[in-house]
């Protein structure tokens, strides 16, 4: 079970889990540096798992949200104090690598589809102060990307934000279509992080 995992104790761990969420970890420049997963066990325990970029091809094609898996040979790591991408209050996460084995189990109904821990969420709300153009570029992996940078203010302080790909395109179109001004931006259920002191 997830509750039995301990950091820095080898890689011979085994879990039966459901993959409830999966997303690409993207840098400020739109480059994929890994994949994040949320795994849930039969007791409703959940944990963040990470696949670094160099192992994505090894594991990505077997993974589907909602499916159950037996996962063997992974490393349990402790989060660093200021580590980005922390999904839960847990102090640990799973690091998948080239030794990790992932096998579809199927037909496992006793592992919940969704597990929630409700908490107070402060949405980011502000007046659009400045928006840059939609910028298209090619990342270092040769893949096309799009981004839009903008600044919002609550009349006391300002914050810079960046959206990528589909979200950037939709945001850019919404700004162009806006008929009422000032434009109010609400970013809901997001995780903000500092980038280069900004």
Q: Where are the domains of the chain?
A: 2-104, 124-187
Where the chain has pLDDT below 50, the residues are 121
Q: How far is CA 155 from the centre of its chain?
A: 30
SS (H, E, C) 74-135: CEEEECCCCCCCCCCCCCEEEECCCCCEEEECCCCCCCCCCCCCCCCCCCEEEEEEEECCCE
pLDDT, tens only, 140-187: 778 889 999 999 988 788 888 888 888 899 999 999 999 988 999 888
User: Please, are residues 47 and 39 in contact by the beta-carbon 8 Å criterion?
Assistant: yes
Strands 68-72 and 101-104, how do they pair? antiparallel
Q: How far apart are CA 165 and CA 185, in angstroms?
A: 18
CATH number listed for the domain at residues 124-187:
2.40.50.140
Closest CA to 87 of 197, 198, 189: 189
Highest CATH level, class, for 2-104: mainly beta
Residue 107 falls in which region: left (phi positive, over 0), alpha (psi -120 to 50) or beta: left
- Which of 118, 111, 117, 119 minimizes the C-alpha distance to 40? 111
CA nearest 62: which of 111, 29, 96, 102?
Answer: 102
8 Å CB contact between 51 and 35: yes
Phi, psi of 82 (to 5 degrees): -110, 25
Q: What angle do CA 151, 155, 159 make, to 5 degrees?
A: 30
Q: If we measure between CA atoms, which residue out of 69, 73, 62, 60 comes closest to residue 99? A: 73
pTM over 0.75: no
| pLDDT for 16 | 93
Kindly state the DSSP code that residue 57 receives in the 8-state scheme: H
Topology agreement, domain 2-104 and domain 124-187: yes
Torsion of CA 164, 170, 171, 177, to 10 degrees: 160
């Amino acid at each position: 079970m997830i509750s039995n995992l301990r950091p820095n104790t080898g890689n011979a761990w085994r879990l039966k889990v459901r993959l409830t969420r999966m997303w690409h970890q993207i840098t400020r420049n739109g480059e994929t540096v890994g994949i994040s997963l949320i795994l849930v066990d039969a007791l409703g325990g959940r944990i963040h798992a990470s696949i670094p970029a160099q192992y994505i091809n090894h594991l990505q094609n077997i993974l589907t949200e909602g499916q159950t898996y037996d996962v063997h040979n992974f490393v349990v790591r402790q989060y660093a104090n200021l580590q980005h991408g922390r999904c839960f209050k847990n102090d640990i996460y799973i690091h998948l690598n080239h030794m990790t084995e992932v096998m579809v189990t199927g037909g496992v109904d006793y592992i919940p589809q969704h597990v929630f821990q409700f908490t107070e969420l402060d949405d980011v709300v502000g007046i659009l102060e400045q928006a840059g153009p939609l910028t298209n570029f090619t990342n270092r992996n040769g893949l096309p990307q799009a981004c839009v940078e903008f600044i919002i203010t609550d009349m006391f302080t300002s914050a810079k934000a960046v959206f990528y790909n589909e979200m950037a395109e939709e945001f850019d179109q919404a700004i162009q279509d806006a008929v009422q001004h000032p434009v109010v931006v609400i970013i809901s259920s997001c995780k903000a992080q500092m980038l280069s002191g900004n």
